Structure 1
Amino acid sequence: MDLVAALARARSPERPGPDTPAGTAVRPWPGPPLPIPEAGPADLDLQALLRLSLAASDASGRLRPAPSAGALHPVDAELVVGAGCSLPPGRYGYDPLRHRVHRVGLPSDDTPPGMTAELSVTARRTASHYGHRAWPLLLLDTGHAAAALFLAARALGAGEPEARLDGLTENPLAVVRIPPPDGRSPMHPAVSPHVPEPSGGTPTPAELLARRSTPPPLPGAPSHGSLRAVLATAERAGNGDLLRWCAAVGPPRPGLMELTPDGATLRRYAAGEARQTLAAWAACQAWIANAGAVLLAHGCPADADAAHIRRAHLRAGFAVHLAHVTALRHGLAARPVGSWQQADLGAALGAAPGRDWVVHALALGTRHADEENTT
């Protein structure tokens, strides 16, 4: 699969064709489904970890702690389990609909303690609805799934999780390693300053289970402080040398806002109303024109190679996931937006074309759709 050509086509105005069958919602793992045992006092609790990150919470399989374009959930997780876990060491395929695992192999001699989740995708699920626009969405979904595992490990007080989102491999696309608990209290984790985390610190399990994408519309402008917190979270998690971050805001002073270099406040990046243009670029989702604000990840030039494309989209999905948690903590309604066509932000602002594209976004508002409909 030529990812460079696939991204160029996904960014074009070409419309997808009719829907096609999505196939099975879970990879057909071999062997019988196995329950995940209860964890011992010193074990990594895989039952809770997967419940907080990847498991479906409804019979249809649509509702999960990690968002997905069209609720199609293409991400598959193969778990490499070492010592110190509630499952015996080995390789397991995870079934998020039944919250069961299938043993698919033995551990290698160098398997580290804890669990390593290898994330890949079944592209057919997303392509069934989005057609040629699927590949950016598949990568973003994988970044969101990696972030969900990362935050679940934090919430449960596991050892310091590590996410590999370098884009160097096609399969797996991303890897999240989670060591067993090391004695730190989950209420007071020792977090290194460079390690990304939502504003406000480690999330609780209840927060992760309650996180949902707000249905549109999302009216109401976020406060300056809330918007700064969301932007700061995204920048910390999004790798500033790969992506840039800004937010489109409306009246009384419409424009694009970004963090100052010290992160202390916001400054105007460009003047003028951008939300109508963003609505047109985002698969003509008209509601975006009236969103309170739209957080934007941008970069990934047209001449980027496949590794760069994977890395930018994986990191954008990861960062928007953490920013979403921050938004909810500030009382905001929020919804990720992943499908973008002709969204050459740099060219729209007068720079050279093809250098600075919208990669991902998070629409923000202060009033939820159900509240808006009752006023």
Structure 2
Amino acid sequence: MDHLREDRPADLAAALARARSPQRPGPGTPAGSAVRPWPGPSLPIPEAGPASLDLRALLRLSLAASDASGRLRPAPSAGALHPVDTELLVGTGCSLPPGRYGYDPLRHRVHHLGPPPDDTPPGLTAELDVTARRTASHYGHRAWPLLLLDTGHTAAALVLAARALGTGEPRARLDGRAEHPLAAVRIPPPHGRNRVRPEDTPRTPGPSGDTPTPAELLARRSTPPPLRGAPSHDSLRAVLATAEQAGRDDLLRWSAAVGPPRPGLLEAAPDGTAPRRYAAGEARPTLAAWAAGQAWIADAGAVLIAHGCPTDADATHLRRAHLRAGYAVHLAHVTALRHGLAARPVGSWQQADLGAALGAAPDRDWIVHALALGTRHADEENPT
């Protein structure tokens, strides 16, 4: 575990404050291995019995790479660097024998690390941690908020995969109290013999209820910019509602920046009707400047933003806010895709003090994460 301790900043609050500053990262550094070097031989994941938790399918839908480079995976990651490592605590009722395993997402195989802890419940507990070097290789001092957001996205990917496969109800631990592991997802075995197999589900994604299909999860991708075209009020309401429900927490507030004909910031209405305006004016160019100068955001159809996380927050608060923001944006991303929208998470924010920009006290209401939305994909903007 020593390498994990060395990978942590001595002062998380100072690391995040520096990441929020206008200071630019230095030259890139080597990213190192794309997978933690788990000890021992790699092992295939067996096929599941009719009443077992199908770990092969679960990990395929949530974590496994689908290209030789290892960059293309179901959970998005800043720079496609994928710093999140997953250790599996396997109890009874799974397609693997009980034990501790390290997961290799490039080969979709596991390494047996030892027996499970004595208190391991039936099913799977996936413990999530990060190799910070991968993200820091490109983003330098801006890495730590991205690492926490990526961990939240990975937790959400596991939860969605479990729901799609009909397991027992998954639970994510995103309280921010621990440095190692940063987060964990508990997935019980399926109840009875109602487990869903990927081959039994429709191949065409569509808004067919709250539970995504395996085909939808395999098809999700972050849309390359530009993302133009204003989402409808109904689709924006659905995306806001998903984010608020998933990120329900006093630490964060959720808004959507929209453009003409009535530019401003919207928030979910308490009665579930169309989002209501709480600030007037065009915010998207400012968001583009704050988001590491990504100019295309100024023309996005809308931008969902998670904000809060004051400067004087302690490490637990900071971890929790970022983990939950990543988790909620991931679920909101899937909702956006189900409503036919183009969507792309935006994780790097500098000088993004939204509260101060709106005339409130400074250092209290910083942007933590965002999801850019549009109705037209990049290939529709530039047809060949």
Q: TM-score range by the shorter chain?
A: over 0.9
- The equivalent of 2:288 in structure 1 is 279
Q: Take 2:146 and 2:208, find their aligned partners in 1: how far apart are those partners? A: 26
The alpha-carbon deviation at position 185 of structure 1 amounts to 4.4
In terms of mean alpha carbon deviation, does 256-265 or 4-13 score higher?
Answer: 256-265
User: Within 5 Å, which residues of 2 pair with 1:1-375?
Assistant: 1=9, 2-183=11-192, 185=194, 200-374=209-383
Q: Take 1:130 and 1:280, find their aligned partners in 2: how far apart are those partners? A: 17
SS in 2 for 1:13: coil
Contact 2:171 2:187 in 1 (8 A): yes
Name structure 1 gaps, 5 residues minimum: 188-197
SS in 1 for 2:317: helix
**For residue 130 of structure 1, what is the amino acid of its counterpart?**
Y
Normalised TM-score (structure 2):
0.93
Once the two structures are superposed, what CA deviation does each residue of 1:141-189 show, in whole Å capped at 9, x if it has no partner? 00000000000000000011000000000110000000000138468xx
**For residue 333 of structure 1, what is the amino acid of its counterpart?**
A
- The equivalent of 1:192 in structure 2 is none
Runs of 4+ off more than 3 Å:
184-187
**For residue 333 of structure 2, what is the amino acid of its counterpart?**
H
Q: Take 1:175 and 1:213, find their aligned partners in 2: how far apart are those partners? A: 24
SS in 1 for 2:86: strand
- The equivalent of 1:194 in structure 2 is none
Contact 1:199 1:233 in 2 (8 A): no
Q: Take 2:104 and 2:129, find their aligned partners in 1: how far apart are those partners? A: 14
SS in 2 for 1:116: strand
Name structure 2 gaps, 5 residues minimum: 1-8, 197-206
Q: Take 1:263 and 1:346, find their aligned partners in 2: how far apart are those partners? A: 25
Q: Take 1:17 and 1:286, find their aligned partners in 2: how far apart are those partners? A: 21
SS in 2 for 1:168: coil
Q: Take 1:298 and 1:74, find their aligned partners in 2: how far apart are those partners? A: 24
User: What is the alpha-carbon root mean square deviation over aligned residues?
Assistant: 1.2
The alpha-carbon deviation at position 105 of structure 1 amounts to 1.3
The alpha-carbon deviation at position 199 of structure 1 amounts to 9.2
**For residue 171 of structure 1, what is the amino acid of its counterpart?**
H
Once the two structures are superposed, what CA deviation does each residue of 1:194-245 show, in whole Å capped at 9, x if it has no partner? xxxx993100000000000000000000001100000000000012412100
SS in 2 for 1:310: helix
Once the two structures are superposed, what CA deviation does each residue of 1:297-319 show, in whole Å capped at 9, x if it has no partner? 00000001000000000000000
Once the two structures are superposed, what CA deviation does each residue of 1:331-357 show, in whole Å capped at 9, x if it has no partner? 000000000000000000000000000
Q: Take 2:352 and 2:118, find their aligned partners in 1: how far apart are those partners? A: 48
Q: Take 1:184 and 1:233, find their aligned partners in 2: how far apart are those partners? A: 30
> How many residue pairs align between the two structures?
365
The alpha-carbon deviation at position 108 of structure 1 amounts to 2.2
- The equivalent of 1:195 in structure 2 is none
